Each structure stands twice: as C-alpha cells, then as structure tokens.
Amino acid sequence: MEHSNAARPTIASQDKQLAFEEQARKLGLRPCDPWVGGYVDYEWDHLRLVLDLLPLRLEGLSVLEFGCNVGASAILFAYLGARVCATDIAADWVTLARLNAARYGVDGIDFIHVPDSCRLPFADGQFQLIACNSVLEYVAADEQRAVQRELDRVLAPGGAILLTGTSNRLWPREAHTGNWLINYLPRACDRLWGKPLQRGVWPWTARHGFGPHYRNLDTASADNYFARSRRGMGTSPHLLQPLLWVAAALGVGPGLLAQHISCLLLKQQAP
C-alpha cells in the first residue's frame, strides 16, 4: 500500500529532543549519528519504500517490532497508521526508543522491556505482522530456534513476518562490523576470543526457522516488491539484475541472497 500522501516525520518537541540526546549520551552514543538521531530519516528513505509495495494495509494493523533498538522502524509503522508494540532486551534502549517517538510526536506505541526473548509476554496469535529489522543476527546461536518459534507463536495465522536488514552469513564480509570472512568461522572459534563473534544469519535459518508453514512472498520477479523497492532506493541495475537471475535459477527469493537478508513470510496455517 503506497503512502504517497504522507509527509516525512519531523521533530515535534525540542524538549523531547533534548531528553533524547541526553539519554543517547548516557548510552555512549552520538545523537547526531545517522544510526541514532537520523535513523527515522533512514527508514523513511528505505523501509518505507518496502512497505509501500507490500501486499499489506498498515492502517490499523497490529504490529510487533521485535528488537526495536532506537525505535526508528516502530515509529515509522505507527506514523503510517499501524498499532505498534515494540520490544527490546535492553531497558535503557527501550527508554531511548520511547524518547525518540516522543520527539517526533508519535504516541500510542507500546514500548516494552522484554529481557527474555524466548518468552514473550503476548497471547498466541496476538499480532498480524512481526517486523525483525537487523535483529536476528544478534540473537544468541543457542536461542535462535526458540526465539523464532516464539515469534511464530504470537503471530496470527494469515499474518506475516517481515525480515529486513539482517546480515547474511553467505557473504564474505559481515554487514554490520565490516569484518572479512568472520561469517565462515565455526562457532567453536569463539573460544579463541573468549566471547561470541558477530556473524550474520544463514538464509535458510531466516527462511525456515519459524516453521514449515510459511510461504516466502519475495520472488525473483522484476515486478515483485523486493526488486521494485531496491530500484526506488537507487540500487544499480548492474547489481540488481544478476541477483534476480541467480535467485530465479536457484528458485529462491533474491532477498535471501542479498548482503542484508530481506523476505516477507506469510504464515499459512497453525503448526
């Protein structure tokens, strides 16, 4: 559904702006960083183009933003008319996200601190859309399956899971850290560093980890939302077209092969 009549969100309260900046500094962040203070603008120029082309009507839709970070995606969903609940495992970041929404004058988002993502405080089938934006790669490897199945539990039959921005472990360079070849190291190597290393998510985990009852609406068609939204973002045809060809040859959605995994998974039936 296109939102051509919607204007870009703007700061509505300088007092809330100052409160947001103060909270960001407490977290060791720079408020002017494009991934902090400018993240809503980024999502307006990127995620909105995806949402415009999805077979979904956002107005009144019950949306869970899982792993809300600074709240940028949740703010965009609410701004475009959805009823949004946003969670994060870090309480300080939930506070920052709440202040971020307040400075844009976007209210009605239910921000919740959920320290255990394997046990979400929601009823079965409570949401019609679950958005996971650059979050699954930060879930501990031994909790990945449990978290995905818990998200499946709270999604209504006929609902959808939207994955965007997820670092793809197929690629030689990890998308968020920029580290080369780290994606290909087995988990056993983490013991050498004494801590888990940041890696992407395997595309088959993203595609099938929620259960067998999902259909990927991302296809290799040039008219599908993935290709059309990427063209809107300015992706070069010289980069996009080979991706579509390879995806078509493999029979998968091109978003599963991109450096940042993107797919729209339709829940077809209850498990």
Look at residue 255 and tell me if it is in a domain: yes
Q: Which residue has the higher pLDDT, 244 or 3?
A: 244
Per-chain mean pLDDT for the chain:
94
Give the pLDDT confidence score for residue 6 in this predicted structure.
76
Look at residue 176 and tell me if it is in a domain: no
Host domain of residue 166: 14-170+204-267
Dihedral sign from CA coordinates of 263, 225, 81, 103: positive
State the chain's maximal CA–CA distance in angstroms: 54
Q: pLDDT per residue over 54-70, tens digit each?
A: 988 899 999 999 999 99
Look at residue 152 and tell me if it is in a domain: yes
Assess contact for 133 and 67: CB atoms under 8 A.
Answer: yes
Query: Pairing relation of β-strands 155-167 and 83-88?
Result: unpaired
Query: How many domains, in total, are found in the chain?
Result: 1
Look at residue 241 and tell me if it is in a domain: yes
Q: pLDDT per residue over 83-142, tens digit each?
A: 999 999 999 999 999 999 999 999 999 999 999 999 999 999 999 999 999 999 999 999
Q: How far is CA 108 from CA 101, 102, 182, in A?
A: 9, 10, 40
Q: Which residue has the higher pLDDT, 1 or 254?
A: 254
Give the pLDDT confidence score for residue 50 in this predicted structure.
95
How many angstroms separate the CA atoms of 127 and 85, rounded? Answer: 9
What integer is the mean pLDDT of 216-239? Answer: 93
Give the pLDDT confidence score for residue 10 in this predicted structure.
96
Give the pLDDT confidence score for residue 75 in this predicted structure.
98
What integer is the mean pLDDT of 182-203? Answer: 92
CATH number at residue 224: 3.40.50.150
Is 76's pLDDT higher than 60? yes
Dihedral sign from CA coordinates of 66, 156, 43, 207: positive
- DSSP annotation of 125 reads T
Give the pLDDT confidence score for residue 235 in this predicted structure.
93
Is 202's pLDDT higher than 80? yes
Give the pLDDT confidence score for residue 2 in this predicted structure.
55
Look at residue 194 and tell me if it is in a domain: no
Look at residue 183 and tell me if it is in a domain: no
Query: pTM of this prediction?
Result: 0.95
The pLDDT-based confidence of 195 (bands split at 50, 70, 90) is confident
Look at residue 189 and tell me if it is in a domain: no
Determine the residue type at 242.
Answer: P
